[in-house]
């Protein structure tokens, strides 16, 4: 069952009705003043986490960087509600949480080139071949993910599903304008998600990647493999029409 999108901010919850596409992020969450001190973020920059789960990392980042803005996407209503209730109780206002299908939100709702950082941790690998089209990182969908980033925007990724992780390495290595490398050690501050904390305790291998987009997301092209698939699909449609 597909649930309607919920747009949550410190001010309340609403649906997409009455909101333009792409979402006017700066109106929904106005930029606060710049933070001060070591490691201060530039005022108003956005970070995005796709599939934030119980919100451990996203909530912590909201607290650490009050001058930065954070957008989270989560399809599970229970987890979305848990994060929203917690950040509201903390009195935080520098966030926006969307409940909905990530690929739909990336393709039809969110603007391109607005994020300084993008986080994807332990996404569903959809291991069956017939489900690969649902993956965030697939040749036919990776452009939707990377288009969120501005020029110089950073990507952080982690998975314990190593076969999928190696496929993501291959896909990102072939993506024009993206510099990406493996991170051979845990994150400096420790586990970022509940899954990661659990898996590290169990000694389970984790594949981590870090990347930087060298173009604006609004210019992000189709992955070469994805472009071939699109052309093949268009050709098939044209043949069907002729028949």
Q: Are 206 and 158 in contact (CB under 8 A)?
A: yes
* Percentage of residues of the chain with pLDDT beyond 90: 80
* pTM, entire model: 0.90
Both tokens of 158, joined, read 């982690």
| Mean pLDDT of the 26-53 span | 79
Phi, psi of 149 (to 5 degrees): -80, 145
Domain count, the chain: 1
Assess if residue 18 is contained within a domain. yes
The answer to whether the peptide bond before residue 13 is cis (omega within 30 degrees of 0) is no
pLDDT band at 42; cut points 50, 70, 90: low
Worst-scoring range by mean pLDDT, 74-88, 101-115, 214-228? 214-228
- 226: CATH: 3.40.50.150
Which among 124, 138, 188, 240 is annotated as catalytic? 124
Q: Which of 152, 155, 172, 137 is nearest to 211 (CA)?
A: 155
Residue where the block lists tokens 């992000």: 220
* Domain around 68: 6-242
Assess if residue 80 is contained within a domain. yes
Write the pLDDT tens digit of every residue in 89-114: 999 999 999 999 999 999 999 999 99
Assess if residue 30 is contained within a domain. yes
CA dihedral 53, 59, 60, 66 (to 10 degrees): 150
143 annotated active-site: no
Mean pLDDT of all residues belonging to the chain: 90
Assess if residue 187 is contained within a domain. yes
pLDDT band at 215; cut points 50, 70, 90: very high
Assess if residue 1 is contained within a domain. no
Q: Which of 82, 85, 32, 10 is nearest to 53 (CA)?
A: 82
Q: Tell me the DSSP string of 217-237.
A: GGGPPPPHHHHHHHHHHHHHH
Assess if residue 156 is contained within a domain. yes
Phi, psi of 2 (to 5 degrees): -95, 120
Assess if residue 151 is contained within a domain. yes
Assess if residue 56 is contained within a domain. yes
Write the pLDDT tens digit of every residue in 175-193: 999 999 999 999 999 999 9
């Amino acid at each position: 069952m597909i649930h309607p999108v919920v747009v949550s901010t410190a001010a309340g919850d609403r649906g997409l009705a009455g909101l333009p596409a792409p979402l006017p992020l700066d109106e929904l969450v106005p930029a606060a003043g710049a933070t001060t001190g070591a490691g201060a973020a530039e005022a108003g920059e956005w970070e995005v986490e796709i599939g934030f789960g119980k919100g451990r990392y996203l909530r912590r980042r909201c607290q650490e960087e009050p001058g930065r803005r954070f957008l989270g996407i989560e399809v599970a209503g229970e987890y979305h509600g848990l994060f929203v209730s917690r950040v509201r109780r903390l009195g935080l206002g520098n966030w926006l949480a969307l409940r909905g299908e990530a690929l739909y939100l990336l393709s039809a709702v969110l603007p391109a080139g607005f994020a300084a950082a993008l986080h994807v941790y332990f996404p569903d690998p959809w291991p069956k071949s017939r489900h690969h089209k649902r993956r965030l990182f697939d040749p036919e969908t990776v452009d939707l993910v990377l288009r969120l980033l501005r020029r110089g925007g950073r990507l952080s990724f982690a998975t314990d599903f190593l076969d999928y992780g190696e496929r993501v390495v291959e896909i990102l290595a072939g993506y024009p304008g993206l510099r990406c490398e493996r991170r051979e050690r845990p994150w400096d501050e420790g586990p970022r998600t509940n899954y990661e904390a659990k898996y590290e305790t169990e000694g389970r291998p984790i594949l981590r990647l870090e990347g930087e987009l060298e173009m604006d997301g609004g210019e992000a092209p189709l992955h070469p493999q994805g472009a071939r698939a699109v052309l093949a699909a268009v050709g098939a449609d044209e043949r069907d029409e002729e028949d």
